[in-house]
Amino acid sequence: MTNLINKSDDTLRVLHTADWHLGKTLNDQSRDEEHLLFLNWLLKIIDEGAVDVLVIAGDVFDSANPPQLAQTRYYDFVSQLYKNTNCSLIVTAGNHDSPLQLEAPRQVLHALGAHVVGFLPENPASRLIVLPSPDNPRLVIAAIPFLRDRDLRKGYAGQDASDIQQALTAGIKRRYEETAEAAIKWSEKGVPVLATGHLTVMGASKSDSEREIHIGGLGDVGADVFPDIFSYVALGHLHRPQTPDNRVCYSGSPIALSFSEANDTKEVQILDFANDTLKEHTPILVPVFRKLAQIRTPWNDLSESISSFNPDTGNLETWVEVIVKDASLGEDINEVVQNLVAERNFQVLKVLRESVGLPDDIDIEGQSDDEAIEKLLDNPKKVFNHRLKQESSLDKKEKKELKIAFAQLLELYETEGANT
């Protein structure tokens, strides 16, 4: 942190983070302890680093109806940020967030120095937040939340995958272009412009914990959708920190949200703006508060693999996923694993039976036939995709169209179910 503590008077410092997913669970285990440790660490970084602006680029919460404890963590953080620092807060909605839920207290939060954008403002000029103020402009934030289908296109009967993809890409590009046009007057005055977003940029690396944003992945875009006026594009959605383009950056999630992220580093991004430009971009590693780990082993080597496993433990107990190959269906592998780790200093949350006959990542070990069927019914998308792969009579285009049709039906079913 020493290189961030000293900041010249002409520098405005921004911290970019995203994908907190407050309220997240992993195999029914709460992540609240990890989130609380992260939020306390973040407040310390903001204070010691003299951060002027905190940008959260979507997915503050893990669901549209977050549990009470998750909301408490969020509002406590905003309160502490206001009382203990001089940092402004910019929050934009992600695909997991409810825009209505985020914006409900926006007037109260605004009094605490927070700007909350859940829905895309219709007027492009209303998407611009000038900091510290329009009378003393040092940075303009083009606060663009997750763009939903209704923000991007109108659906028509008979559209195929290519039509939908073209409409989504054009819609995303149009929203950023019209926002950039509204920001030109500030750029001409020498004020740098930072844009936010919550989407998938092609070429970036995904993990298992990200929900598909647009049907069939048709909303993935290139970095060229962001006009050159934006000095930096602060993105959320993908959980691995990465920079698909020189000025386009994902901060990633602050904690590992799935076992597929067990070996990922976690970061927040520090941006120093001075002399009308982005002077420095510095990633800061987030401490590992709870280590996630995977043990992948053949059945015959299970005992040895577990006995030799000795993970580095963080502040909290390590959680482990065990993936067993070549185990017969008659073996209760979950019970065997739990017996082997009974006296160890880590907890096994998941035991998976690796099988070519089932969709990836569907866990049926130690379950009855009825329980296994219920598990499959809980994962309709994985089951459908697994079944579709086996249809050799269908070409690539036909499979893609079937996947889109199934995704639309599933989305309709889940939406109607949530409203009943």
Give pLDDT, residue 216: 45
CB-count exposure of residue 188 (10 Å: 0-12, 13-18, 19+): exposed
Q: Name the β-bridge partners of 56.
A: 17, 91
- Give every CB contact of residue 162 below 8 A, 6+ residues apart in sequence: none
- Give every CB contact of residue 369 below 8 A, 6+ residues apart in sequence: none
Angle ∠(40,142,49) on CA atoms, nearest 5 = 30
| pLDDT one digit per residue (tens) for the chain, 420 residues | 445 657 888 899 999 999 999 999 998 999 999 999 999 999 999 999 999 999 999 999 999 999 999 999 999 999 999 999 999 999 999 999 999 999 999 999 999 999 999 999 999 999 999 999 999 999 999 999 999 878 877 765 556 667 777 788 888 999 999 999 999 999 999 999 999 999 988 876 666 665 555 444 555 788 889 999 999 999 999 999 999 888 999 999 999 999 989 889 999 999 999 988 999 999 999 999 999 999 999 988 999 999 999 887 778 999 999 999 887 766 788 889 999 998 888 999 988 887 645 555 555 544 434 445 555 666 777 778 777 776 666 777 777 778 877 877 876 666 555 444
- 363/189 Cα distance (integer angstroms): 58
Let me know whether 268 and 322 are in one domain: no
Closest CA to 58 of 228, 234, 317: 234
CB–CB of 289/255 below 8 Å? yes
Give pLDDT, residue 315: 82
Give pLDDT, residue 370: 44
Does 374 fall in a domain?
no
Give the count of beta carbons closer than 10 Å to the beta carbon of residue 12.
18
Let me know whether 92 and 74 are in one domain: yes
CATH number assigned to the domain comprising residue 312: 3.30.160.720
Q: Under DSSP, is residue 48 helix (H, G, I), strand (E, B) or coil? A: helix
- 159/311 Cα distance (integer angstroms): 51
Let me know whether 217 and 309 are in one domain: no
- 60/23 Cα distance (integer angstroms): 9
Closest CA to 254 of 244, 237, 267, 243: 267
- 102/151 Cα distance (integer angstroms): 18
Does 351 fall in a domain?
yes
Q: Name the β-bridge partners of 284.
A: 268
Let me know whether 49 and 135 are in one domain: yes
Let me know whether 280 and 299 are in one domain: no
List for the chain the helix, strand, coil content (%; round to 5). Answer: 35, 25, 40
Give pLDDT, residue 219: 56
Tell me the whole-structure pTM to 2 decimals. 0.81
- 198/192 Cα distance (integer angstroms): 21
Alpha helices for 288-352 (secondary structure H): 302-307, 333-340
Let me know whether 271 and 297 are in one domain: no
Q: Which domain holds residue 254?
A: 2-285
CATH number assigned to the domain comprising residue 250: 3.60.21.10
Let me know whether 58 and 130 are in one domain: yes
Let me know whether 226 and 323 are in one domain: no
Let me know whether 66 and 150 are in one domain: yes
Total tally of structural domains belonging to the chain: 3
Let me know whether 320 and 420 are in one domain: no
